[in-house]
Amino acid sequence: MATRPASDVIVSVTGLHRSFGDTVVLDGADLTVARGEVVALLGGSGSGKSTLLRALAGLDDSAFGAIDVPSHFGVVFQEHRLLPWKRVVDNVALGLRGADVRRRALEALAEVGLEDRGDAWPAELSGGQAQRVAVARALVREPSLLLLDEPFGALDALTRLRMQQLLERLRVRHGFAALLVTHDVDEALLLADRALVLEGGRIAEEFEVTLPKPRHQDDPGFGGLRRHLLERLGVPAT
């Protein structure tokens, strides 16, 4: 694994284990994320990506190992998980305290291009808009880390591309780090500084993605990396 100055590491996971009954899903997984770094987590279906992310988010009491994450992190799942009985702005402001909560929530909505939808109900939004609100809800706490579990996995291809570009712009502006669980090799290569492959309960492989950002699928070098990653994931190019 590439060495980094210890002070730059904001996520450190060592020896992470999780079993469901007799099934060992995580078997001593280790990983780090550096300040401002985007790390994609790939792996076959059922390899334990979501399990690992849930453990990092503190959503799994039964995972054990050394887990060090910053106190300010945001989480975005594949489903938006907005409360249907609260207006969009109140969903974003949920759990915030202080006099300027509404203003902060509206600012976060403006960052995702939804400044005029604060008074809408979640049911009135498209899937892409609802995911933007979920991103705003994560962003409003000024996190140093985003934990993203297939955040754009349920969106159509065009909306997904727009959301990937939005995430990249927000990252440049705010400098958060991200751990991005994805099935989508192109998404990993568009966004990540490093791609990890989870296999056999551990990080079996790691690739640095050194292409300059912002990236595009037509960039030189992109196709070669895609073939390499797909092969590593057991989907050889035809």
Ligand X SMILES: Nc1ncnc2c1ncn2[C@@H]1O[C@H](COP(=O)(O)OP(=O)(O)OP(=O)(O)O)[C@@H](O)[C@H]1O
Q: Return the axis-axis angle of helices 157-174 and 127-139, rounded to nearest 10°.
A: 20
Instruction: State how beta strands 9-20 and 64-68 pair.
Output: antiparallel
For the CB of residue 54, give the shortest distance to ligand X in the complex, in Å: 8
Residue 143 binds ligand X (CB under 6 A): no
How far is C-alpha 164 from the chain's CA centre?
Answer: 11
In this chain, which stretch among 40-48, 97-105, 162-170, 229-237 interacts with ligand X, using CB under 6 A? Answer: 40-48
For the CB of residue 97, give the shortest distance to ligand X in the complex, in Å: 33
Site for ligand X in 171-210 (CB under 6 A): 183
Site for ligand X in 44-83 (CB under 6 A): 45-51
CA-based nearest residue to 153, from 93, 226, 80, 221: 80
Instruction: Kindly provide the b/e burial profile for residues 148-170, where b requires at least 16 CB atoms within 10 angstroms of the residue's own CB.
Output: bbbbbbbbeeebbbbbbebbbeb
Choose between 45 and 71: whose C-beta lies nearer to ligand X: 45
For the CB of residue 63, give the shortest distance to ligand X in the complex, in Å: 11
The total of other beta-carbon atoms located within 10 Å of residue 4's CB is 13
In this chain, which stretch among 2-10, 38-46, 166-174, 222-230 interacts with ligand X, using CB under 6 A? Answer: 38-46
Please give the residue ranges that form the binding site for ligand X (CB under 6 A): 20, 25, 43, 45-51, 183
